[in-house]
Structure 1
Amino acid sequence: MRTDSERKDVVIIGGGPAGLSAALMLGRARKKVLLCDGGSPRNSAAEGIHGFVTRDGIPPKEFRRIAHEELQPYGVEILTDTRVTAVERLDTGFQVVLAGGRTVESRRVLLATGMVDEPPDLPGYRDLWGTSIFQCPYCHGWEVRDRPFGLLVTNEHLLDFAAFLTGWSRDVVAFTHGAVNVSAEQRQRLERAGVRLETQKIRRLIPGAKNGDHRAHLEAVELEDGTRVARDVLFAHPPQRQTELVQRLGVALDEQGFVRINEHLETSIPGVHAAGDLTTRIQGASMAAAAGTMAAAMMNHALNMENAGAGVHPRG
């Protein structure tokens, strides 16, 4: 016989801002919630989370610590460093299988797994990720404002992004790495914006020390002919993919590879919802948290109406 702790209203897979916000909302709504945090946050290399009101600049680990404390009064069960290996459909909902063999039955599931970044095979890139290489100027642009920027242009749409970056720095170089053909019209637009264009392939990214910081920081971008372009910051949008769990679930994806959701933030599998970075290219902690809250509200509404129809009322 299953214990009550093994039957949940919602299992949340992912312990970032989306999952934590959903857990808070559902816990306060008197739902039995299990939050599974795999322990490998995408923002672990970042010094701080920015643009999150009342928490601007907070280190990711501290953000999670405070969130876990705030969930305690609401009886949310939190499993850290715990992967979910499978989600299986049951007549009454879902069976969630955890690494180690534990299984939990749940009426609904929320995917808040984020995305997996796939960094390019470019010497120096991995060591500089999170210290000098960033995806989002809203998240990190203020801290590096007015410094020499670079942008790794992997498709023609990012050429406009180079002009966009001039809102944070007037010194921007767009590196096409020999992979993008730039039209005369695009060159003129970049020139008007004050963006310099470098079309050679990049040989490597050169790190250097900064103000006694033990971490590596970008010093220059070395091109294939040996030219070094001094840069402090490089913006890049590496390819992303869904986690293996999401891929195995088989939820429908859009043309960009993000999970399709409806107005209730429900995926193509009824009862499985999704929130945060895995559903959109507009990624950031505050946006993910908002999506998690919205998904929780949608799930809670459905659960309450099911309970009311069956004459079931919360206990405790």
Structure 2
Amino acid sequence: MAAYDVVIVGGGPGGLNAALYLGRGRRAVLLCDAGTPRNAAAEHMHGFGSRDGIPPSEFRRISREQLRAYPNVEVRDTRVGSVEKHEGGFRVALGDGSTVDTRRLLLAVGMVDVMLDIPGYKELWGPSIFQCPYCHGWEVRDQPLGVLLTEPQYLDHSAVIQNWSQDTTVFTHGAFAVTAEQRERLQALGIGLEEQRIRALHGKDGHLEAVELEDGTRVARKVMFSAPPQRQSELVTRLGLALDEQGFVKVGPVGETSVPGISAVGDMTTRLQGALMAASAGAVAAAMMNHGLIQEDADRRYTAVTGKPPASKQKPH
């Protein structure tokens, strides 16, 4: 049975950068990629220095190609099934039928976006419906934009979107009542407001053209910004990791979760979601994970030579 220092679950920016750092740290690494990236619908990645505008698939291809320089890093196109505690770490069952042992587990699986039950929403997600204005706002600047909000606490987010176009309209989909103060603020800022439920989103070839309201009115829009509900992957649920009040995996400063030996990075841990942030978190978690493994190995060697437990485990005199 193959044994690794670290098994990484997820082949997006977070997992790939973690593999790079661990590979350079001389760790035996297995990166498992199920091939279903969260940004699969996106045509381009933005805001990533030296890679601005690159298609996500091309980013992954280049990153994988660069990992080939490290023979201690293995990449498999497979899912991760069960994970069980095992002596010195974990035993991981893979979707290809094999089982591997690992000392540590690093999760970079992203979140699952739950598409809203509005005709046209799923089809337009990616080409015309975006979550992050920093990722996609520049390309659609000064166009007629919509902001689909289903929770009142995010109503002020419309002013953020207006930064990219003065022609901005909020759609509440009838999900909540807009207060008089909120209505006054939107009107003062020149932001449109539509409170009816949305009957359908109309577009052609993936490009939004109009938002049809419950009474049949059509509001011409070119782009919609929307943050749909998200849920954790089944793997995270099975592992029983502690979540915060928003449903993200609780992590410490360097990605450690509530289960010792398991770290998590990227979108699954934060609302601040983006390729560059995930890659950065992957690097930090990987470096600190490597440091921990190095110290663990050093303690083992010390005990083998001296017959004494490491200083951290010695009882005070």
Interval containing the TM-score (normalised by the shorter chain):
over 0.9
Structure-2 separation of matches of 1:206 and 1:267: 42
Gaps of 5+ in 1: 209-214
Structure-2 separation of matches of 1:38 and 1:190: 43
Asked if 1:128 corresponds to 2:118, the answer is no
2:41 aligns to what?
Answer: 45
Deviating more after overlay: 191-200 vs 222-231: 191-200
Asked if 1:292 corresponds to 2:282, the answer is yes
- Picking from 14, 21, 25, the partner of 2:21 is 25
Aligned length: 301
Amino acid in the other structure paired with 2:144: P
2:197 aligns to what?
Answer: 201
Secondary structure of 1:168's aligned partner = coil
- After TM superposition, give the deviation of residue 191 of structure 1 in Å: 1.4
Counterparts of 1:8-87 in structure 2, within 5 Å, are 8-75=4-71, 76-80=73-77, 82-87=78-83
Asked if 1:239 corresponds to 2:229, the answer is yes
- CA offset digits 1:289-309 (Å, max 9, x no partner): 000001101101100111111
Amino acid in the other structure paired with 2:36: S
- CA offset digits 1:149-181 (Å, max 9, x no partner): 001111012211111111111011000111111
Structure-2 separation of matches of 1:297 and 1:8: 16
- CA offset digits 1:202-252 (Å, max 9, x no partner): 1000112xxxxxx32100000011100000000111000000011000000
- Picking from 171, 178, 195, the partner of 1:175 is 171
- After TM superposition, give the deviation of residue 263 of structure 1 in Å: 1.9
Structure-1 separation of matches of 2:253 and 2:168: 39
Asked if 1:137 corresponds to 2:133, the answer is yes
Gaps of 5+ in 2: 303-317
- Picking from 260, 265, 281, the partner of 1:275 is 265
- After TM superposition, give the deviation of residue 91 of structure 1 in Å: 2.1
Check whether the contact 1:22–1:292 (CA below 8 A) recurs between aligned residues.
yes
Amino acid in the other structure paired with 2:270: T
Structure-2 separation of matches of 1:201 and 1:129: 19
Check whether the contact 1:220–1:232 (CA below 8 A) recurs between aligned residues.
yes
Check whether the contact 1:153–1:180 (CA below 8 A) recurs between aligned residues.
no
Amino acid in the other structure paired with 2:277: M
- After TM superposition, give the deviation of residue 280 of structure 1 in Å: 0.3
Structure-2 separation of matches of 1:158 and 1:255: 16
Asked if 1:156 corresponds to 2:152, the answer is yes
Amino acid in the other structure paired with 1:195: I
Amino acid in the other structure paired with 1:123: P
- Picking from 292, 300, 310, the partner of 1:302 is 292
Structure-2 separation of matches of 1:221 and 1:310: 64
- After TM superposition, give the deviation of residue 100 of structure 1 in Å: 3.1
Amino acid in the other structure paired with 2:50: T
User: How does the TM-score come out when normalised to structure 1?
Assistant: 0.94
Amino acid in the other structure paired with 1:270: P
Check whether the contact 1:88–1:96 (CA below 8 A) recurs between aligned residues.
yes
1:188 aligns to what?
Answer: 184
Asked if 1:251 corresponds to 2:241, the answer is yes
Structure-2 separation of matches of 1:245 and 1:300: 23
Amino acid in the other structure paired with 1:307: D
Structure-1 separation of matches of 2:5 and 2:91: 12
Secondary structure of 1:42's aligned partner = coil
Structure-2 separation of matches of 1:254 and 1:161: 22
- After TM superposition, give the deviation of residue 86 of structure 1 in Å: 1.2
2:208 aligns to what?
Answer: 218
Structure-1 separation of matches of 2:190 and 2:264: 40
Structure-2 separation of matches of 1:186 and 1:225: 23
- CA offset digits 1:103-155 (Å, max 9, x no partner): 11000000100000000110001110100000000000000001000011110
Matched-pair identity in %: 61
Structure-1 separation of matches of 2:96 and 2:211: 45
2:98 aligns to what?
Answer: 102
Secondary structure of 1:105's aligned partner = strand
Structure-2 separation of matches of 1:87 and 1:193: 52
Secondary structure of 1:95's aligned partner = strand
